[in-house]
């Protein structure tokens, strides 16, 4: 390579690095900041699955009483095309009956068991008197001013259309975000109703990470408004120490180091994209997420997170 070619290459590379760094810190030089219809720090997963039976009206009422900023819930559709709030499509875990929601009419759905394991809190259970699986429209009617984060659990065109119709009927486009980890579902949601903000799918999260580490992220336009990701390190507390190999621990550590990046969170929030981290149930986890620049934390314990935020500077 000739000296002039080497100088040109180095100057071009240097210019790219400087421009990428500048736009990473100040993205509004290139992109218009997204308008935030609401801001959520305190997010109650399934209504607060650690303090009440998950996805029940009692759980949602308790979370709202705790001044939660957002309710997170999951949706399926019954045989008679009713949109219900439930995490599982099969009800074996939550009701003890091995049946699919899609195979039953709404009036045929069994009640929840009196106690349910808390997925992200090893060895803990929640309990409650309200064991009924609610309709999504009941949540909209009961909490007209509370933002709702909807996970569309199955790739079903009718379900997506029904949820969109309910959001429109209750005039909640400005108080709703929806999506799923699957790219195809998020695409269908956006195509069905582009007025409802969407979550990043897993595929898009991985793309964002790739763009971030290659310096290309500041140059790329982003459609989504909510970057919702797990904190990989919490996996360690859910497993027995002897049940995780050294290679698995290394992969969890690596994933945590790659995903939990303050520079990434700061860049996204500067572009008007909210960053939510899940599912955190301990004070040190809350603190780490907010210290890294997360907009909000999703928890099973609304009361605990409320107390933390009261004292967090």
Residue 13 has pLDDT above 80, yes or no: no
pLDDT value, residue 1: 67
pLDDT tens sequence across 87-111: 999 999 999 999 999 999 999 999 9
Could you give the CA distance from residue 95 to residue 138 in angstroms, rounded to a whole number?
21
Confidence at 8, pLDDT banded by 50, 70, 90: low
pLDDT value, residue 243: 80
CA 4 to chain centre: 50
pLDDT value, residue 299: 98
CB-count burial class (<10 Å; 0-12, 13-18, 19+) for 35: exposed
Lowest mean pLDDT: which of 121-130, 142-151, 190-199, 263-272? 121-130
Q: Closest by alpha carbon to 130, among 56, 45, 46?
A: 56
Q: Closest by alpha carbon to 59, among 142, 137, 120, 167?
A: 142
What values do phi and psi take at 190, rounded to 5? -65, -40
Could you give the CA distance from residue 94 to residue 111 in angstroms, rounded to a whole number?
8
CB-count burial class (<10 Å; 0-12, 13-18, 19+) for 163: buried
Taking CA atoms, 12 is separated from 18, 110, 306, in Å, by 10, 65, 50
Residue 22 has pLDDT above 70, yes or no: yes
Residue 237 has pLDDT above 70, yes or no: yes
In a domain, 23, yes or no: no
Task: Considering only residues 293 and 14, tell me which one the structure prediction assigns the higher pLDDT.
Answer: 293
Q: Which helix (H) or strand (E) holds 182?
A: none
Number of domain units in the chain: 1
In a domain, 313, yes or no: no
Could you give the CA distance from residue 87 to residue 241 in angstroms, rounded to a whole number?
28
In a domain, 14, yes or no: no
Could you give the CA distance from residue 49 to residue 298 in angstroms, rounded to a whole number?
11
In a domain, 26, yes or no: no
In a domain, 25, yes or no: no
Task: Considering only residues 268 and 236, tell me which one the structure prediction assigns the higher pLDDT.
Answer: 268
Torsion sign over Cα 167, 168, 172, 176 = positive
pLDDT tens sequence across 115-139: 999 998 888 999 999 999 999 999 9
Could you give the CA distance from residue 26 to residue 272 in angstroms, rounded to a whole number?
12
pLDDT tens sequence across 259-305: 999 999 999 999 999 999 999 999 999 999 999 999 999 999 999 99
Residue 308 has pLDDT above 90, yes or no: yes
- Average pLDDT estimate for 239-255: 89
In a domain, 18, yes or no: no
- Average pLDDT estimate for 162-178: 98
| Residues ≥6 apart with Cβ < 8 Å to 49 | 55, 59, 116, 118, 119, 126, 300
Residue given tokens 């705790």 in the structure block: 66
Which residue segment(s) compose the domain that 264 sits in?
40-306
- Average pLDDT estimate for 139-153: 98
In a domain, 244, yes or no: yes
What pTM, to 2 d.p., does this model score?
0.95
pLDDT tens sequence across 69-86: 999 999 999 999 999 999
pLDDT, mean over the chain: 95
CATH (domain of 123) = 3.20.20.190
In a domain, 312, yes or no: no
């Amino acid at each position: 390579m000739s000296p002039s070619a080497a100088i040109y290459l180095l100057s071009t590379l240097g210019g790219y690095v400087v421009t990428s760094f500048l736009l990473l810190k100040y993205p509004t030089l290139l992109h218009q900041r997204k308008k935030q219809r609401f801001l959520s720090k305190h997010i109650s997963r399934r209504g607060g699955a650690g303090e009440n039976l998950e996805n029940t009206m009692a759980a949602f009422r308790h979370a709202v009483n705790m001044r939660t900023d957002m309710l997170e819930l999951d949706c399926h559709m019954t045989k008679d095309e009713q949109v219900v709030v439930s995490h599982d499509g099969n009800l074996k875990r939550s009701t003890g009956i091995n049946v699919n929601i899609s195979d039953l009419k709404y009036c045929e759905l069994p009640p929840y068991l009196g106690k349910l394991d808390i997925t992200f809190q090893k060895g803990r259970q929640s309990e409650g008197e309200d064991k009924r699986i609610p309709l999504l429209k009941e949540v909209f009617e009961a909490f007209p001013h509370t933002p709702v984060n909807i996970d569309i659990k199955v790739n079903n065109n009718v379900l997506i259309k029904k949820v969109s119709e309910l959001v429109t009927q209750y005039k909640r486009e400005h108080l709703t975000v929806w999506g799923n980890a699957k790219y195809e579902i998020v695409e269908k949601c956006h195509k069905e109703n582009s007025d409802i903000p969407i979550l990043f799918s897993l595929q898009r999260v991985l793309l964002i990470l790739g763009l971030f580490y290659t310096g290309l992220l500041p140059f790329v336009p982003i459609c989504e408004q909510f970057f919702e990701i797990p904190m990989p390190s919490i996996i360690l507390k859910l497993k027995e120490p002897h049940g995780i190999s050294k290679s698995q621990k290394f992969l969890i550590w690596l994933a945590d180091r790659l995903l939990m990046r303050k520079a990434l969170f700061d860049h996204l929030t500067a572009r008007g994209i909210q960053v939510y981290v899940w599912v955190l149930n301990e004070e040190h986890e809350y603190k780490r997420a907010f210290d890294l620049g997360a907009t909000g934390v999703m928890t099973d314990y609304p009361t605990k997170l409320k107390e933390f935020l009261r004292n967090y500077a």
